[in-house]
Structure 1
Amino acid sequence: MSPSTPVHEDKRSPMLALGILSISFLMSVSNAVSGTIPLMEKYFSDVSRANVELLIVIPTGGVLLGTVISGLVSNLLGKKYTVIAGLSISLVFGIIPAFIFNYPAILISRAMFGVGMGIFTPLSVSYITDLFPEETRNRLLGWRNSVGAIGDSIMLFIAGFLINISWHTTYLVFLFLLVPILLVMFFVPKHYDNIVSEDGKEVEEDVKIKPTTNFGVIQLAFIFLLVCLFYSAISLKLASYVVNNHIGSAAAATRIFGFLVLCSIFSGLIFEKIAKWFGKYTVTIFYIITAISMIVMSFTTSIPVLLVLVLAAGFCNGIINPALTARMVHYSPKGSMNFTTSIIIIGINIGFLIAPYFFQFFGEMIGNAGPANMILWSGIFYVLLAVYDLVVVKKDKLTI
């Protein structure tokens, strides 16, 4: 069928959107089981602390590999079965530590868990950008962030009960992945594998088009990398800042982070309206608010004020991410959305991976690697991102 030939328009069921959004239930590779580190250190007494912590972060490396091969798998199986395969890989390898207590086996299983995530995560975006018109797309991209935050909360809640039994049973939390597997299986039809929305109509995509990329996509991936890198200053440095400056305890800082989940849910739900209000300046405006929040944060000595500033930065991040994601439609070459999404996800993961080393290097370079100074400079870098965004919006004629 020709790429421009209209196909029969399906009456979109809300369950289709639910099935697609459910792919994003698991957006964090480590949160749910990070609490097992102290218990695993005792169990693996002959393994170094760094190697035990590696069990928590190794899925990120797996995500990078899975993201690279996602397009190849999708070409072989189609979108629907690629998502189911990726979710199934993450489920099976995710629960292996509950039954096998050998360190090398657990290390491999955790890496493969990440590979599964890397396979299905790009499709959680490309399904939305391919199938839905702009207004609906913006709404669902915002909801996607909310669904991820809700999924993380549910899994953290379940893991909190399971860890009281043993660290092994905590890994049974990944049985939760049965939920998106079943929702995709029953509510996301196979015929949507090669359907895209153009001018309000569903058309069948030409599968013979070879996926390509361009400078715009690479530029966007680099921006995602920088956003994740600078935003990491909060998660990496705030607790140390609070404790070192006798503002509060580590527990107080942890409670502040706990509110970020609610913030992510809220920002995702209202993203569509925010994007309508601010249009093409959405990203720029929320860069600036983030910058102000982080700069003021670095001088604050009050827990309540810190809470407000962290929530402001978290809310802004919940707007910036889907807004930048929506730009993928503008930059992505025709028939290459899955490949584009994979490139973006690689940029995001690299940003998070290099953050600790970047702050160490930059701190040594300027002669002050203190937590407050790193938060301050991250705020300054957000100002530079805002200036660059104004240039990009004008140059590339972006609508969001």
Structure 2
Amino acid sequence: MTIKPQSFITKLAVLSISLILTSAVAISSALPQMREELGISMTQSEMLSTVPNVAVAIFVILSSWIAQKFGVKRVITIGVLLIGIGGIVPMFVSSYPVILASRLLMGVGSGLYNALAVSIINALYTGDTKANLLGWRSSAENIGQAAFMAIAGLLLTFGWHWSFAIYLAAFPIAAFFWFIVPDITIASDTPTDEHGKKLGYGSIIKETNPFVYALALFAVLLVLNSIAIQVRFPSICNEVMGEGFNSGLVLSLMPLVGIVAGAVFGTVHKLTGKGTLYLGLIAYIAANLLIGLSNGNFAMVLAGMLVSGIPCSWCFPYIFNGMDSLTSARTIAFATSTIFIGTNTGTFIAPLAMQAIQSVLHTDSLYAPFPVLGGIFILILIGLAAHDLIKRRSA
């Protein structure tokens, strides 16, 4: 079937693969039931939402090379199918090690086409069409996450195994993409020097602005906090509202807040400039304190969860918008990949970080990690303000 790239159905197929790209946390509402039935710890259950990102961090680096060898369209399709295969395994098994391995397989699928979902838009489209589709691609991730969270919550009524049925959607998505979207080729993205000679990784790392690594650490904290709230929220709901409370529908509101926040980013950035970053930090501080100090008040927990949908939608666009002025054109791809590795690391270690905080504080309180995370962002806010003040005075 040959359909022109400019057709509506091709654009829809290109965007469809992003619907399921960030769906790993969509089954968070099932974690309390899984923890009880499988006899696993809080951290082990929360890792089921975050462990795919170990594989994502590895394969997002390899995906460009793999796509050059086997073709972009083929690699994307295989990636979507792996999400589906790995995703549905827990429908049929009750073994924690097997489920953990299946989640890693999902991560391999996501990592294979995480960057290619952007590359194929850049290759097929230009100008305003490309810009609009890139914007819609980000929205598709949030829309998919919200929809899958809501559906997983509804399916939870029939038992936690059924929540994983959401990943059956990967198979029609893979077929839709394979039969509609034309294949593309991507050139090697290895940077070169002024003489056209390929730069080795040692040279790339040496040339990269060291501040990029600070931003990667910042990305770890941003995503860690977001994921910590998402995976801990269902357990808090069960403690506050009772074991029968289904948090899936409520949790699906978080990515919807992210969609709205992302939609107004341009306006906020135009009005406030760097103030966008400050506002994002303040939102995280507020979210953490609302949850951490809620003391069983569900309205405060809910408000904190919703507010936490804002920061990543403002902080990351601000960071990437200024990337070209932070580092050289030869190292911008490496810098961007470094920050993406930071985001995947933050996702994976979120449950471990919460466990570590609770261990240090000698408490099993579900709320304990959030005042600490809020304190960390207060320190970052103070440090950023001091840096900007010193810079302004020395100018």
Q: What TM-score, normalized by structure 2, do the two folds share?
A: 0.70
Q: In the superposition, relative to structure 1, how do residues 85 and 390 fare at CA in structure 2: closer, same or farther (>3 Å)?
A: farther
Distance of 1:267 and 1:385 partners within structure 2: 22
In 2, the alpha carbon distance for the partners of 1:248 and 1:41 equals 17
Match of 1:384?
379
Q: Which amino acid aligns with 2:261?
A: S
- Confirm or deny: 8 A CA contact 2:90 2:164 kept in the other structure: yes
The answer to whether the 8 A contact 2:87-2:103 is kept is: yes
Q: In structure 2, what is the equivalent of residue 234 of structure 1?
A: 229
Match of 2:338 among 314, 337, 343: 343
Secondary structure of 2:369's counterpart equals: helix
Choose which of 259, 262, 267 in structure 2 pairs with 1:268: 262
Q: What residue in structure 2 maps to residue 283 of structure 1?
A: 277
CA 1:87–1:132: 2 relative to 1, 3 Å: same
Superposition pairs of residues 101-112 of structure 1, within 5 angstroms: 107-112=100-105
| Residues 94 and 113, structure 1, Cα contact 8 Å, conserved in 2 | yes
Deviation readout 1:71-109 (Å, 9 max, x if unpaired)? 331332344433223222222333345567777665543
Unaligned runs of 5+ in 1: 1-9, 197-205
Q: Determine the structure 2 residue equivalent to 1:155.
A: 148
Distance of aligned partners of 1:325 and 1:316 in 2 relative to their CA distance in 1, 3 Å threshold: same
Give how far 1:148 is off: 1.9
Letter in 2 for 1:234: I
In structure 1, what is the equivalent of residue 40 of structure 2? 49
Query: What corresponds to 1:7 in structure 2?
Result: none
Secondary structure, counterpart of 2:19 in structure 1: coil
Preserved CA contact (<8 Å) 1:88 1:181: yes
- Alpha-carbon distance change, 230 to 321 in structure 1, aligned in 2, over 3 angstroms: same
Structure-1 separation of matches of 2:376 and 2:359: 17
Q: 2:109 aligns with which of 111, 116, 131?
A: 116
One of 334, 350, 354 as aligned partner of 1:355: 350
Question: How far has the Cα of 1:62 moved from its partner?
Answer: 2.7
Pairs within 5 Å for 1:48-87:
49=40, 53=45, 57-87=50-80
For 1:1-400, what aligned pairs fall within 5 Å after superposition?
A: 18-26=12-20, 27-32=22-27, 35=30, 38=33, 49=40, 53=45, 57-98=50-91, 107-125=100-118, 143-159=136-152, 170-182=163-175, 184-185=177-178, 188-191=181-184, 193-194=186-187, 212=204, 214=208, 215-235=210-230, 251=245, 257-295=251-289, 297-300=291-294, 302-328=297-323, 330=325, 334=329, 340-362=335-357, 365=360, 374-389=369-384
Q: Deviations over 1:19-43 (max 9, x none)?
A: 443332120314237627746975x
Are the equivalent residues in 2 in contact too, given 1:63–1:118 (CA < 8 A)? Answer: yes
Aligned-partner Cα distance in 1 for 2:97–2:357: 35
Task: Give the residue type in structure 1 aligned to 2:23.
Answer: S
- Residues 327 and 392 of structure 1: is their aligned pair in 2 closer, same or farther, counting only changes over 3 Å? farther
CA distance in 2 between partners of 1:84 and 1:335 (Å):
30
CA contact under 8 A between 1:32 and 1:159: conserved in structure 2? yes
Change (3 A) 1:165 1:284: closer
CA 1:291–1:138 in 2, change beyond 3 Å: closer, same or farther?
farther
One-letter amino acid of the structure 1 residue matched with residue 141 of structure 2: G
Percent identity for Structure 1 against Structure 2: 24
Are 1:59 and 1:115, in contact at CA under 8 Å, matched by a contact in 2? Answer: yes
**Structure 1 contact 294–309 (Cα < 8 Å) conserved:** yes
Structure 2, gaps ≥5 residues long: 190-195
For the 8 Å contact 1:237–1:374, the answer to whether it is kept is: no
Moved more, 61-70 or 366-375: 366-375
Q: Which amino acid aligns with 1:29?
A: A
Check 1:394–1:225 CA distance in 2 against 1; reply closer, same or farther (3 A cut). farther
Between the aligned partners of 1:35 and 1:41, the Cα distance in structure 2 is 10
* Number of residue pairs the alignment of both structures matches: 373
Specify the SS of the correspondent of 1:314.
coil
Q: Hey, what does 2:193 align to over in structure 1? A: none
Q: Say if 2:60 and 2:112, in contact at 8 Å, map to a contact too.
A: yes
Cα distance in 2 for partners of 1:33, 1:241 equals: 12
